[in-house]
Chain A
Amino acid sequence: MSDQNHTDPPSDFALRVRALETLLSERGLVDPAALDELIDIAEARIGPRTGAKIVARAWADPDYKRRLLENAQEVTEELVDITGANVIVLENTPDVHNVIVCTLCSCYPFRLLGMSPGWYKSYAYRSRVVREPRKVLAEFGLTVPTSTEVRVWDSNAELRYLVLPMRPEGTEGMAETDLEKLVTRNSMIGTGRPLTPGEAEAT
């Protein structure tokens, strides 16, 4: 994919997008302000900090965690100003490591994690993580012992998944706001682990 450079003339792609938007707004079918609003939502109002808040609360509050695992849609709103519509939370344990993908297209829990990164939509990730998840996780620097099942969730229908990573050791008594800083986006996809307190301090 070639990035646009400001000194280049508009690409065919950019011209087609502009023509489409002009057509739709001239016909009164879309409000250009609604498009601006959606872009602002995508880039400024949704993001992994929302998911991190939910994970930190689940680590800190066993009752919240129990309700979150039972019905994420109902309880995400207690904490964040966006509903986790159709989200299922998957708890990592010493026995099971969860990881999410969409092999058929690019489904992603974007309401709670923001827009997906390029690699999540790549052919390599989509084709391989269902077949050789351990190799793929190793490419992310994550080794899961063979005594732990790697369970790959293919988001093929209406549900979206958010991984609840295991709480790092050495975090007993930490405040929820500090726990939040340990939660990485990849740890909520299953392709990473949360930071340790030491790693968080170093960043």
Chain B
Amino acid sequence: MDGIHDMGGFHGFGRVDTTNETTFANDAQRRIFAINMLSVMQGVYNIDKTRYYMENVDPSDYLNTPYWERWLGMVERLYREAGITAESDQSEIPGARRIPGDKLWDGFRSLRIPEPPPLPAPIYSVGESVRMRRDSVPTHTRLPHFLRGRVGRIEDYKGIFRFADAYASDRPENQHVYSVRFTGDEIWGSGCEENTSVQIEIYEPYISERVAHEN
């Protein structure tokens, strides 16, 4: 979706406050971090859905709400939609399991990403130049707006991963992922800084076409 969260390249945010080291300013921030993380680990909802819900808000609210408070709003909505409210007496969430405190660290420290099921062979190869699709989607996507329609070079093939766009809507789907590099000039034009680039993971459906090599 074309949301305010997709802010790569925006002007006007000013200098980076490089001294801001704060992770948590108070206990409520610690608790909402933990509630969300545990909910994802327990399978209440998936991480792509959390991102979709976080960005799917009024743009002015997004900008004016402190970081952890945005998390709180997202978690409240996700549980409400799962039927867990003060008014209901529901206490079951299909597919979710409860992780007791004494089992948590072992699961956390040894996390491995499971091998995904195979797909047909990837369409593109390392070394090819490819153009990103131009159309935007109204739902969650991980293609930042500043790369739409841009041409990059496939530097690496990373394997098969959960497709975030689909999982955000509870649709299990996997896709090939490439690592694609775009020059600063290609993205930002003549105003770009010298000798800079952006490299990013590109799910195969983000690519619209192969582009002939210029050299």
Binding site for B on A (CB under 8 A): 1, 3-4, 10-11, 13-14, 16-21, 23-24, 27-39, 41-43, 45, 73, 81-83, 85-86, 101, 103-106, 111, 115-119, 121-128, 130-136, 139-141, 146-154, 156-159, 191
Contacts and interface: CB of A to CB of B under 8 A. Distances in A.
B35 A31 contact: no
19 contacts: A11-B28, A13-B28, A23-B79, A29-B91, A31-B100, A31-B101, A35-B101, A37-B104, A38-B104, A43-B30, A83-B112, A117-B20, A119-B18, A123-B13, A127-B11, A133-B196, A139-B18, A152-B199, A156-B142
B166 interface: no
Contact of A4 (B15, B25, B102, B144): B25
Interface residues of B, number: 89
Contacts of A133: 193, 196
B96 interface: yes
Contacts, number: 258
Contact of A130 (B5, B9, B143, B181): B9
Contact of B161 (A117, A122, A157): A157
Contacts of B19: 119
B45 interface: no
A156 B144 contact: yes
Nearest to B62: A123
A28 B91 contact: yes
A24 B8 contact: no
A203 to B, nearest CB: 16
Interface of B: 5-11, 13-28, 30-35, 37-39, 42, 44, 51, 54-55, 63, 66-69, 72, 75-76, 79, 84-86, 90-91, 93, 96, 98-102, 104-105, 108-113, 142-144, 146, 158, 161-162, 164, 177, 181, 187-188, 192-201, 203
Contacts of A3: 25-26
Contact of B16 (A39, A81, A104, A125): A125
Contact of A13 (B20, B35, B72, B90): B72
Q: Which 3 A-B pairs have the closest CB atoms?
A: A33-B101, A103-B8, A118-B20
A125 B16 CA distance: 6
A124 B16 contact: yes
A11 B18 CA distance: 27
A20 B142 contact: no
A158 B72 contact: no
A10 to B, nearest CB: 8
B111 A85 contact: yes
A197 B29 CA distance: 37
A151 B67 contact: no
B215 to A, nearest CB: 18
